[in-house]
Amino acid sequence: MIRHQWSASILIVLALGASGCRASTTVDYPAVSGRRVQAASMAAASSAMPYRVGAYELVFTPVPGSTGQARRAALLVDLAGGQGSVRGFMEWDHGGDVPAFYVAGGWARQRNVGDDPTTVFELALNQLNTSRAPAATGPPLAVRVVIHEASGDVTLTRRR
């Protein structure tokens, strides 16, 4: 009986070791930093639930030698009680002269991280086919954009 348990333990350890040695099938995308260039918002103060409409223009810093990353974005947000919908567009560099354009849509939420008011966008991006832009290449992109409202710093993380 002990011999059977010992054999099973060795097989489990070998299986775990073999699965850890395989090449990763997912691609890691580095986070892209940027700045909020412009923002405008209007809030309804007399409401029982806080309501805010906002617009953002974001510009992302190019990563040297990288293609397939965000260049800029224009987003409109409609928040009730600190969460709501977001829509807009994003422009991406795909290594050519003409960028690819994506329609962005998803959800937003605002919260305070310490003394830093933060807005988080969870977006699905669907590429637009235009006569000058590259053709759509693959499934929609999913990204998370985090805006630190006090500093204007922005981070975009591509999701799997």
The CATH number of whichever domain residue 78 belongs to comes to 2.40.350
Q: How far apart are CA 59 and CA 35, in angstroms?
A: 6
Cα separation, 47 vs 125, in Å, equals 33
Q: Answer whether residue 4 is part of any domain.
A: no
Q: Does 63 map to a domain? A: yes
Domain span at residue 60? Answer: 27-159
- pLDDT tens-place values along the chain, 160 residues long: 455 455 545 545 444 444 444 444 344 677 889 999 988 888 776 667 788 899 999 999 987 777 678 899 999 999 998 999 999 999 988 766 778 889 999 999 999 888 889 999 999 999 887 666 556 666 668 999 999 999 999 999 988 6
Q: Is residue 1, in this structure, part of any structural domain at all?
A: no
Tokens of 101: 């354009």
Q: Judge whether 10 lies within some domain.
A: no
Q: pTM of the prediction? A: 0.74
Does residue 12 lie within any of the structural domains? no
Using CA atoms, how far apart are residues 87 and 96, in angstroms rounded to an integer? 26
Q: Does residue 18 fall inside a structural domain?
A: no
Question: 106: closest CA among 129, 82, 127, 88?
Answer: 88
Domain count for the chain, please give it.
Answer: 1
Residue 77, domain member (yes or no): yes
8 assigned to some structural domain:
no
